[in-house]
Amino acid sequence: MSDGAETSEPPSTYIVGVPWPDFNDGLIYNDVVPLSHPGLTLTEYYSTKHKNSAPMQGWLQRIGNSQITVDGIVVTDPNTILRAGMELVYHRRPWKEPDAPFLLQVLFEDDDMIALNKPSGLQVLPGGLFQQRTVLTQLQWYSSKQNPLLKHKKLHAVPVHRLGRGTSGVLLCAKTKLAKSHLAAYFADGTSVVAGNRHINMELNDKRKISKIYRALTEGIINKDEVVITQPIGTIRYPGVAKGLYVASPSGKPALTKVEVLERNVRENHTLVKVEIQSGRPHQIRIHLSFIGHPLLGDPLYITGGRPKCFDSDFVNDGFALDGGYQKPVKPVPGDCGYHLHACQLVLPHPITNEVIEINAPIPSILQTQDEAKELCLSFGDNTDKGQN
């Protein structure tokens, strides 16, 4: 964002959220047998087309439990021969999802968008074991209770970008399809600018429409006051991650991260940093900081070099869980928490009015500088004294 732009302050914040039910609603997966797959048995079809969901023994269990219908009829014979055009439905039974926070602080809201302070431990979109306990679910529940007079706006509440499950801070969501298209374009804009410039540098910031600022706590002492990281990010095959794990890779896509040291704690051997990203590659900050030898403190996955801590093909678990699916990976995966990363600020033009909006999320105490912590303490003390007078 350019300097000197006028900004508007967000309204007072408030908390929303509904406690999670003990069990989710289960899931329904629909398939139509394609022309290229006639003659396969029911087991062969599911264990090949959906091999990332369960091993063959798991699919045999699901079929035997009457969880699959063929053209509307429950089929329990795994050797049933399929014909092209048959409609298959797999009914995944309800399950108890892992614990996750449900309260969300609303940082900004109007008729077109809403900015949330996402807590660490809450997944943004459905995936894996988390199909209901997500930001998206809470957002949809909250939107369903909104003023019915806004129905003419064609409400379409949905996050327009992602934060890792262990990352906290500002998460921007659209409330209408028009706002979604504009906001999504803002986030894609920075990444496309980086991708289009092989000799990337932070001067490209002037060309983007959105500014994203983070706080992070890293292992070790970063000696330089500022570091610009331009290491490309790509994917590798990794057990437990169906679409591949994002890592530092010379053959990957361009990415740009600027790191500014805020404080060095020599005694504890860690560094507090401010991070600004131009591109938006998955897990970019975690990968880039680990690439330069300073992984996020507590990161269970990434180590120096921007690679995974564990990468052994022998830890793949071919057993299956109670629902027939694969067991939870025993080694680290991207959704595991433990690191300290907070999206503290977003500055962007409003998707409809084009007015510049600055949205800030309160900084967790562990990511505050000593001066910030002291100032907060003094402010709290002043407010306490006033309340006693």
The string of pLDDT tens digits covering residues 142-160 is 988 875 555 555 567 899 9
Residue predicted with more confidence, 79 or 154: 79
pLDDT at 93 over 50: yes
Total number of residues shown for the chain:
389
What sign has the CA pseudo-torsion 116, 182, 161, 129?
positive
pLDDT digits (tens, 9 = 90+) for 206-252: 557 899 999 999 999 999 999 999 999 999 988 878 789 999 999 99
Q: Which of 6-15, 75-84, 101-110, 196-205 has the lowest mean pLDDT?
A: 196-205
Q: What is the pLDDT of residue 365?
A: 96
Q: What is the pLDDT of residue 144?
A: 84
Q: Which of 37-46, 356-365, 374-383 has the lowest mean pLDDT?
A: 374-383
Tell me the mean pLDDT in the region 156-174: 95
pLDDT at 388 over 60: no
Per-residue H/E/C for the chain: CCCCCCEECCCCCEEECCCCCCCCCCEEEEEECCCCCCCCEHHHHHHHHCCCCCCHHHHHHHHHCCCEEECCEECCCCCCECCCCCEEEEEECCCCCCCCCCCEEEEEECCCEEEEEECCCCECCCECCECCCEHHHHHHHHHHCCCHHHHHHCEEEEECCCCCCCCEEEEEEEEEHHHHHHHHHHHHHHHHHHHCCCCCCHHHHHHCCCEEEEEEEEECCCCCCEEEECCCEEEEEECCEEEEEEEECCCCECCCEEEEEEEEECCCCEEEEEEEECCCCCCHHHHHHHHCCCCECCCCCEECCCEECCCCHHHCCCCECCCCCECCCCCCCCCCCCCCEEEEEEEEECCCCCCEEEEECCCCHHHCCHHHHHHHHHHHHHHHHHHHC
Q: Which of 18-22, 64-68, 186-190 has the lowest mean pLDDT?
A: 186-190
Q: What is the pLDDT of residue 30?
A: 97
Largest CA distance in the chain: 83
pLDDT at 256 over 50: yes
Mean pLDDT (the chain) is 87
Q: What is the pLDDT of residue 316?
A: 46
pTM: 0.86
Q: What is the pLDDT of residue 305?
A: 96
pLDDT digits (tens, 9 = 90+) for 272-329: 999 999 888 999 999 999 999 999 999 999 999 999 987 654 444 445 555 655 556 6
